[in-house]
Amino acid sequence: MTPVTLYLDNSVLGGYFDAEFEAATGNLWVLAKAGQYRFVASVVTEREAARAPDHVYNLFLDTFTDPESILGLETRGMALAQSYVDNKVVSPKYLADAQHVAAATTHGIGVIVSWNFRHLANYHREAGFNRVNLEYGYPAVRIISPQELVYGNDD
């Protein structure tokens, strides 16, 4: 079975240590170690993790040991992120959230995992990101929480 590639934003790394989110997040790591999922992140995640508490940054470093698992944000990714802002999917204040989606989208990663329900993992934002993606010739993405991945595997 080929593992499904998941793009993780920094909220998932932080969720690993948060009492509210640690069970589902920890189970996601268990499923990845079992070969069901493959994690990728981006330079945006790396930048945010570097500013987070040491235990979060260390989890980032331990999880993303392969340099190929850290996606760049090239010119086209920056342009797509700006298009999300220009189309009012997110405000300029949350450009980093748009950059997460753009990095995943431009690298062909179809599933973004986040605990950020305000700016990423919700129906309205996902629809907005996908409206822009389709307008610019990119495929739609799913933006979901770890719970949606973990609880689909408990049968």
Q: pTM for the full model?
A: 0.95
Rounded Cα distance between 155 and 136, Å, is 39
Model confidence over 92-120: pLDDT tens digits?
A: 999 999 999 999 999 999 999 999 999 99
Rounded Cα distance between 47 and 26, Å, is 22
Q: What is the mean pLDDT of residues 35-46?
A: 97
Model confidence over 62-73: pLDDT tens digits?
A: 999 999 999 999
Question: Which fold would CATH assign to domain 4-153?
Answer: Rossmann fold (3.40.50)
Is pLDDT at 129 greater than 70 in this prediction?
yes
Q: Show me where the domains of the chain are located.
A: 4-153
Rounded Cα distance between 57 and 53, Å, is 6
pLDDT band (50, 70, 90) for residue 154: low
pLDDT band (50, 70, 90) for residue 77: very high
